[in-house]
Structure 1
């Protein structure tokens, strides 16, 4: 058991690294040494890290090279991963983010080490799991996902490659780069399509709003099928054909899959999200409850960030700042180049205590007063358009009830949008601004 009041999750801390390097042998923060390469992803390398204070303490360090990987596409993934993992620090089946560090050229995410590697590797070796083994891993995934949903995070990329094992064989969900957060929903729905096609619910690709919980439930159905059968239920290089098969539930079960397991999978992979089995309904089924502690499930499902696990001093600090806030805005570390354009005239930033929908409504009102046409993007958010000037409004959560608002001018409108226009906007926004982050200059 840990102390009654553990320290503030260190995902909200950031320190200057002492090495410009980012590979094996580098010393960062005078605290960790990067050892062997554990793996590489689409935008980062992951190294084994060893504490210089205690050589027995090992971590995983994700190294992101800003110069080569942080662009308009990767930026949201990094932000989502940090923001999601910050909220989910307390569940035993979710990989923990210990702290965030950065230099002008690199970002370091220091995370819990899972020396057991990917569950995918274990599954590949034995081809398929026995029903008892599959259920054991499946129960842990479902427990973690319910905790995610109750804390406003929808993973959207559940698959064996994103499930790790610790030294005791305990499952850990990782890779929240494609996750969605509850504050990004419009009218209770998510509108961005993403994920791995073979594991993605059919409604996600329809460019219509969908329920993030039900989308994760579909992925759980695919995952359980893969655990028990050893192959994907839907696997076609022609995505149109594959999604037609999903809508027809055109998959078969081998003889060794039990009737109870078949029912669970069939109900989870219901192409109609309205009738699809939810995770809250799933945990009540006798097949799921077998050899599993309901007390454990309930206690983990009810634990949320900001509960009594943080003392009042820590919680007040947490409500003001988080990892994204520090990484992107800290003048002391001069990290503005991480997410800012070199042309400062392109954008201004401020924090606001209003809800995201109220902010968007306010921006639309201001735009109308200044002669702009308001447009809503396919993936949410608003744009203000006047002639060649396109002013995009991006809103991100930086803490509880605190939002970061970025106003960006497209390249094509820079010649027509200068200091006078910024001042007009700022005067109209003055009544909702908590603080200005940077100035247009």
Structure 2
């Protein structure tokens, strides 16, 4: 289902229409003498979303209202808004991407006039189907997802937050990709790579989390692998509230398929969930697989869609779903900034950093530091290095997180009250020549 669309020229800048309408936007307000906000549909930290009708033709829209004072308080919001608008303007011509119709502004507010997805989140429909789809239904929606992402990448946009909650349905049950607040544009590339850690942990490629350059299209391909697994298995392949443990499982590829997932689908998922982006399937390679190219007829797809939604139910559900989906449609806060991922939950008895120095050299350096500081050095049977001095026991473990990148973790596993801040500072000072990034400050 590779839909070829005309390539819109990338905008050189984002143009925002100015309006003299009242800044007290709420139900009943009229914006630019054109859109009437009829009712509040949802709210978040940075925006309110209203159902709206166009006074010219009575068409329905979702309007996101952002208070400009937020962009003043949070300096990261303004470039994010500009990036989201720029991305969506590039992508307005694909049938499986939510459309941005207009952007307007007053002295205190910004208004996004968006397509209203009457069918709600695909995630909601997935839950109503017992948490998983049949393979034919999964392929029907997966085709549309991949087609939309292929179009994004052709136009220089990486989405970076693909998950079921950002996959919506129109009134006919067709897929609409939404929420480009964390998307990346070509101007963000450094030496052809992206460097911002962002996304939702369970759906984000491992290389995105660790502060090293990555390919945005390959990161989106990983998310496709997670999505296809969720569609078919009814659960996440990797799901652990302890994020370092989850990434250990990712790099050891510790996930299992339910018996009902077919072998061809397993091969696709295995190639997408490859922690090494260099050998992971690209979107183009995925689209050339036999499993992906196996396409049911339009009649069969329509029957599958009707079976999924239920004859005569869709129209009734759409009005009900309007009030459920609007903030999820265009909220910019559904993604999670992962830049401080490994700081969460850490204290002065733990320290982590990434390194591109090979494991053996890291171990040799730690053992030398330990001996110089009067520790007894022990190699642990289950892996890792132990440093022992009196009651104090330090444990160091190394986890491969990407090609030629390792996460090194130090923990005080005994005698914490006797291990002082100055000792962390000394250790940190002696390790600095092998560190790519620290993940908590012990100074």
Aligned runs of 1:97-116 on 2, under 5 Å?
97-116=100-119
Which piece of structure 1 moves more, 146-155 or 122-131?
122-131
Q: Deviations over 1:247-276 (max 9, x none)?
A: 111111111111111111110000000000
> Which structure's CA Rg is the greater one?
2
Tell me how far apart the structure 1 counterparts of residues 45 and 290 of structure 2 sit (CA, whole Å): 40
Distance apart, 1:45 and its partner CA: 2.1
Gaps of 5+ in 2: 1-5, 299-443
> Deviation per CA, 1:95-139, whole angstroms, max 9, x where unpaired?
111111111111100011111111111112221111111111111
Retained in 1: the 8 A contact 2:138–2:232?
yes
CA distance in structure 2 between the partners assigned to 1:35 and 1:205 by the alignment: 41
Q: How does 1:33-432 map to 2 (within 5 A)?
A: 33-55=36-58, 57-68=59-70, 71-126=74-129, 127-291=131-295
Query: How many correspondences in the alignment?
Result: 287
Q: CA deviation at 1:73?
A: 2.4
Query: Counterparts of 1:260 and 1:17 in 2: how far apart (Å)?
Result: 57
**Cα pair distance change 1:90/1:105, threshold 3 Å:** same
Distance 2:47 2:190 in 1: 31
2:225, 2:287 → 1: CA distance? 13
Distance 2:257 2:41 in 1: 36
> Displacement of 1:40 after TM fit?
3.1
Return the alpha-carbon distance in structure 2 between the equivalents of residues 258 and 284 of structure 1: 18
Q: Aligned in 2, Cα 1:99/1:269: closer, same or farther, shift over 3 Å?
A: same
Query: What are the superposed Cα offsets for residues 352-394 of structure 1, whole Å, 9 maximum, x if unpaired?
Result: xxxxxxxxxxxxxxxxxxxxxxxxxxxxxxxxxxxxxxxxxxx
Change (3 A) 1:12 1:67: closer
1:315 equivalent in structure 2: none
Q: What pairs with 1:16-27 in structure 2 (closer than 5 Å)?
A: 16-27=19-30
Aligned-pair CA distance for 1:182? 1.4
Query: Would the aligned equivalents of 1:12 and 1:86 in 2 still touch at CA under 8 Å?
Result: no
Give the C-alpha shift of residue 292 in structure 1.
6.2
Q: How far off is 1:283 after superposition?
A: 0.6
1:244 Cα deviation from its structure 2 partner: 0.8
Root mean square deviation, CA, Å: 2.2
